[in-house]
Copies of this chain bind each other. A is one copy, B any other.
């Protein structure tokens, strides 16, 4: 893929190891960033990256800092000075090139003599519960690698390169004070950066990183907030210097369930991490290059590649591998909200996680069952109450606090909109996630052990349809009594209008329910449970017919909600078919097969909605998940694009296809890009309106194997 001007866009990227809930965020022109742990968005450190062609030249810097008032004046009582001199050149516009790879982020100057790169490699990882220590150190080291380089082969003077960070409030300390095999700076024991000590590198610390007025015997002033490493590239040489950025959060980190970070079990401290990252950098560089190459050689367009790469970067930043009584506990935090293992994200992340670390999916399913499941009573909104069945909470807590057994951080009572309960949605999510896990991995043992739970899920799904079997049509009609009378269940599309927000009689949820029955049929088949298999098959058919009957032959569309004469049109009508497609359950996705009527209707529906002014935004051309809301979600667009292209290719026309560029431009502009990957976006303006710094965009992994 050639370098493109698009990749110079206004966006931060999260550079994150797997499982550390930490990011080194950088990239938005004019903005600081840097090291952050468990934050809702980018940190606020100056990031200094630059070069000068000789000691008499101006410094050229990447635009990653906002000159702060230095804290020098607090000491001297004199007027304030800035931490960065003004006599520098900021590389921007045509003077700078950026390339976001799947596992890398690289900046070059115009003639490509200068380069700076940060890597976030990822790949298949085995179950850490069964891993040797050395393997754990390899896969879960909380560091990222990078480098800074200059090709001075044509140069007549020595070139200086600079990489540094500044934060006045917490201050940095020289890591070489503690470990002479490292050369760099750290904030307390929690994060830091280093390179290899050599005669080519010197360290700087002071109130002003380029012009430190005050220097101790080794040239530093450790009361100053600005730090840097300065590398010398002699005339005639091309040199590349490794960088390592590490994180380390010690001790018990969570409450409710007390856990530490897994990495604290096999790394002693930050210096151990930095050493490991620096001295084992080759394997990480190789892995990052492999992923980059894979994406570049894929059939994805440049825009699609960018979207998947940016999504993956933000996903990694939300991942958290905890350690609880000698066993791993996997959490994905929900971006800016930092809710833990939000189940409606788990069900979207599974396409990525089952490809690279399926044990994480199982780990989450097991904890949902053991701690975050509950049994409820249900209610039809008209006075009929009945016993319900098993379901699962929306999430497991928020901000490192595991909520009590059977309770989420999100769900509240007496509501009909945002923050209401999502009982049916999460019930389906357990079923779909469980069957996807079992089928993709072939883990029959786990499936067998959970057969009882799957059957409890079946009974729960049936009763929510109707406690009286004769009255069932497959569609949700009963809400959990956790909502209380007057309240109503919602779906994961909580912040949209009623077209997607209401759970009962909801088209999206009905088709998703169909997806769950199709997967249950398959799973019970594999389990040899003929009776349950037949029930699932029968219910799938019944439900498919029920949905079909809602089709409006005049408009050739389905209403989003099967009541109150709802006229909204939604793209996620087809979302439920992603699961049989993903698992290759061909009978269910055969356009001429058992669901041919419904699939035909959905094709017509999609043909109608994927039009400008309906579910293609009239202003931007981007996909709107509902015709009646300008709040659209990238992760769900990506998922639906996969279903459309594979199941309904006939609806793909030029304006549909062009949307990728629109979606990529949203993320490349500061309205989203200021918060790295964003999910909830205004379809007309491309501005994020929620779900910033967000992991869910990795549904776009579905594209890679299309």
Contacts and interface: CB of A to CB of B under 8 A. Distances in A.
Interface of A: 39-40, 73-78, 169-171, 173, 177-178, 186, 188-189, 214-217, 221-223, 250-253, 255-256, 269, 336-339, 397-401, 403-404, 407, 409-415, 418-419, 482, 494-496, 631, 680, 689-692
A75 B690 contact: yes
B222 A409 contact: yes
B412 A221 contact: yes
B495 A76 contact: yes
A403 B222 contact: yes
- Of A73, A77, A400, A689, most buried by chain B (CB within 10 Å of CB) is A77
Contacts of A403: 177, 222
Contacts of A223: 337, 339, 398, 409-410
Nearest to A408: B216
B178 A255 contact: yes
Given A216-B411, A409-B222, A169 B74 contact: no
B189 A252 contact: yes
Contacts of A691: 74
Q: Which one of A177, A252, A496 has the highest number of Cβ atoms from chain B below 10 Å of its Cβ?
A: A177
Nearest to A40: B169
A223 B339 CA distance: 8
A238 to B, nearest CB: 35
A398 B495 contact: no
Contacts of A400: 188
A338 to B, nearest CB: 8
A65 to B, nearest CB: 20
B77 A413 contact: no
A170 B336 CA distance: 11
Given A255-B189, A399-B188, A75 B337 contact: yes
A412 B220 CA distance: 8
A54 B262 CA distance: 51
8 closest pairs, A vs B, by CB? A173-B401, A77-B495, A214-B412, A171-B399, A251-B251, A250-B251, A214-B419, A77-B689
The dominant DSSP class at the A interface is: loop
B74 A414 contact: no
14 contacts: A74-B337, A75-B418, A171-B401, A177-B255, A188-B253, A188-B399, A188-B401, A189-B255, A214-B419, A216-B411, A217-B413, A221-B412, A222-B409, A223-B410
Contacts of A496: 77
A337 B72 CA distance: 10
A418 B76 contact: yes
B336 A74 contact: yes
Given A222-B403, A223-B337, A169 B39 contact: yes
A14 B264 CA distance: 34
A334 to B, nearest CB: 10
Given A255-B173, A401-B222, A412-B214, A77 B631 contact: yes
A419 B171 contact: no
Contacts of A407: 216-217
Contact of A171 (B73, B76, B398, B680): B398
Given A75-B419, A173-B399, 5 more contacts: A74-B692, A75-B418, A177-B255, A188-B399, A215-B412
Nearest to A398: B223
A411 B215 CA distance: 8
* Most-contacted residue by chain B among A223, A250, A256, A339 (CB, 10 A): A223
Contacts of A397: 222
Contacts of A74: 336-337, 690-692
A415 B631 contact: no
A120 B403 CA distance: 33
A497 to B, nearest CB: 10
A76 B497 CA distance: 10
Which of A177, A252, A419 has most B Cβ within 10 Å? Answer: A419
B222 A398 contact: yes
Nearest to A79: B689
A419 B39 CA distance: 35
A495 B401 contact: no
Contacts of A412: 214-216, 221
A545 to B, nearest CB: 35
A58 to B, nearest CB: 26
Nearest to A173: B401
Contacts of A252: 189, 250, 269
A22 to B, nearest CB: 15
A283 B407 CA distance: 39
A409 to B, nearest CB: 5
Contact of A413 (B173, B178, B215): B215
Contacts of A40: 169
A252 B189 CA distance: 8
A413 B206 CA distance: 13
A314 to B, nearest CB: 16
Contacts of A337: 74-75, 223
Given A39-B169, A409-B223, A690 B77 contact: yes
A483 B321 CA distance: 50
A411 B40 CA distance: 38
Nearest to A78: B495
A66 to B, nearest CB: 19
Contacts of A177: 255-256, 401, 403-404
Given A173-B255, A221-B412, A690 B419 contact: no
Contacts of A170: 399
Interface core residue of A76, A400, A413 (most chain B CB under 10 Å)? A76
A171 B251 CA distance: 19
A419 B78 CA distance: 14
A385 B40 CA distance: 58
A33 B251 CA distance: 27
A252 B397 CA distance: 27
A86 to B, nearest CB: 23
Q: Which of A216, A411, A692 has most chain B Cβ within 10 Å?
A: A216
Contacts of A415: 214
Contacts of A221: 412, 419
Contacts of A689: 73, 77
A343 to B, nearest CB: 15
* Max chain B C-beta neighbours (<10 A), residue from A78, A222, A680, A691: A222
Contacts of A256: 173, 177-178
A494 B73 CA distance: 12
